[in-house]
Chains A and B, each alone.
Chain A
Amino acid sequence: MISVRQLTKTLGDQPVLGGVDLEIARGETCVVLGRSGSGKSVLLKHLIGLFQPTSGEVWVEGEEITRLPERQLGGIRKKLGMLFQSGALFDSMNVAENLAFPLREAGVKNEKEIDERVAEALEMVDLAGEQKKMPEKLSGGMRKRVGLARTIVGQPACILYDEPTTGLDPIASDSINHLIRRLQKRLRVTSVVVTHDMKTAFTTADRIAFLHEGRIYFHGTAEALRATQDSVLTDFIEGRSGDVS
């Protein structure tokens, strides 16, 4: 479904991605792991055309999107949904209006249908009845859930998650991890999850890609990652910095 070929990206004079190759098959959940600042979110934003690469290609459903101008990316973006790190809810709209936004943009005019689909999406993320709340009244976990509901309400073929558990307490994180898993089973969407949270990786992944020094250092199943003896990977999995106190 998504193919990344020799993708490089330099921000300012800082090389962030140095030739990333990655294949994501339809229906699978690929978790992209890596240290903070390793370029995971930058890679994810390339998949939906929010960044233009320095070189390389991104293909989505057989179409190369890297050279498409902003206005021509609309068609591809309707097939993809993205959950942003902060939720990125529109703060001038309440929860229901945030969720109705992609539907109205897609041309849905029937208010009854919009209300039903909004209610259904909120129910999927365990926030039934919260339509009237404004984003500033929501906790961090609730904002991510509403962001996720806004992502799934348009029924995308693929969902991109940018650090879905960052900034959440362990219980809220666990709840989001199970929510991602539940949505995968229920909606059968392709998912790309960018995280540095090992619990999220092992709970949600079909396959894991480890981004290190701007390249994919490891790509395989969760079991293969658990069994690895590579010190770069084991240090990351076990959270060893090498510093002594």
Chain B
Amino acid sequence: MVTALGRIALSLIQYLGELALLVYETGRSMIVAPLRWRLFARQIVEVGWRSQLVVIVTGMFTGAVLTAQTYFQFAALGMKSATGSVVAVAIFRELGPVLTGLMVSGRVGAAIAAEIGTMKVTEQIDALRSLAVHPIDYLVVPRVLALVLSMPLLVAESVGLAIVASYVVGVHLLGISGPFFLGNLYRYVGPRDIKMALTKAFCFGVVIAFVSCHQGLNAKSGAVGVGRAPTEAVVISSLGILILNFFLTFLLNMLFPYGH
């Protein structure tokens, strides 16, 4: 039992060490090597544009469902008009960044791990190296930058759509007074919530990018190896997002305290 736990701890330390090395190499590459703008633009399209459907559906239906559930509970207490503000705070601070992060890790993270993993096992990464091209410059940096830039925008879009859906469901479907809904929204949601949402989005983008690139670069040969890379990328990114979210919530509440 102790041996097994020790082995798990060692594997975790080794994994975190490999991730830290990848982060270091990527940071170094950003300083010493010029950015490949064309690859960066292609990744922006992959990450930002091709995630639109996922982000739109996630944002709108999360906002709509959360509004309905909150309304049904609050109506019994005679607090219907507080629905908008409660939903908005929950969306800004937690659900928007976390759900968007999970959806993007499933769509983009899996694609990154599969693409880089396939390149690894078909010797395309060795071919890059033999042609004097550093794989971190060519494969990792454009993806990392595209993800850390796109994630805050995707989360902003998702949160915005969730609020719109919440207004439509709350005001037009459930009959909450529009001015009360908006009044409470403006009263209880402030710049601190926007900062929290965008900071979490940035951090989740970093997690998805590095975990997915790492899984791809370390894919084992064969169909099983390549198949495992995207699965593990999604699982590890998702767990990373959920665990990191807990710590970020405490940290960001200290940085951007409620009511100040």
A: which residues have CB within 8 A of B?
45, 48-50, 70-71, 73-75, 77-78, 80-82, 84-86, 88-91, 101-102, 105, 154
Contacts and interface: CB of A to CB of B under 8 A. Distances in A.
A162 to B, nearest CB: 9
B129 A70 contact: yes
Contact of A70 (B118, B124, B134): B134
A192 B129 CA distance: 18
A86 B131 contact: no
A86 B118 CA distance: 13
Interface string B63-82: 00000000000000000000
Contacts, number: 50
B132 A84 contact: no
A70 B32 CA distance: 13
A71 B31 CA distance: 13
Report the interface size class on chain B: 10 to 19
Nearest to B118: A91
Nearest to A162: B123
A45 B130 CA distance: 9
A45 B131 contact: no
Contacts of A82: 126-127, 130
Given A70-B134, A71-B32, A71-B134, A88 B123 contact: yes
List of 9 A-B pairs having minimum Cβ-Cβ separation, nearest first: A88-B127, A74-B132, A88-B123, A77-B132, A82-B130, A84-B123, A102-B131, A78-B132, A88-B124
A105 B127 contact: no
Interface in B148-196: none
Given A70-B129, A86-B122, 16 more contacts: A50-B129, A73-B129, A73-B132, A77-B129, A77-B131, A77-B132, A80-B130, A81-B130, A84-B123, A88-B122, A88-B123, A88-B126, A88-B127, A90-B124, A91-B122, A105-B132
A195 to B, nearest CB: 17
Interface in B89-138: 118, 122-124, 126-127, 129-134
Q: Find the residue from B129, B130, B134 having the highest chain A CB count within 10 A.
A: B130
Contact of B133 (A48, A81, A88, A105): A105
Contacts of B133: 105
A158 B54 CA distance: 50
B205 to A, nearest CB: 23
A45 B129 CA distance: 11
A84 B134 contact: no
A105 B123 contact: no
A85 B130 contact: no
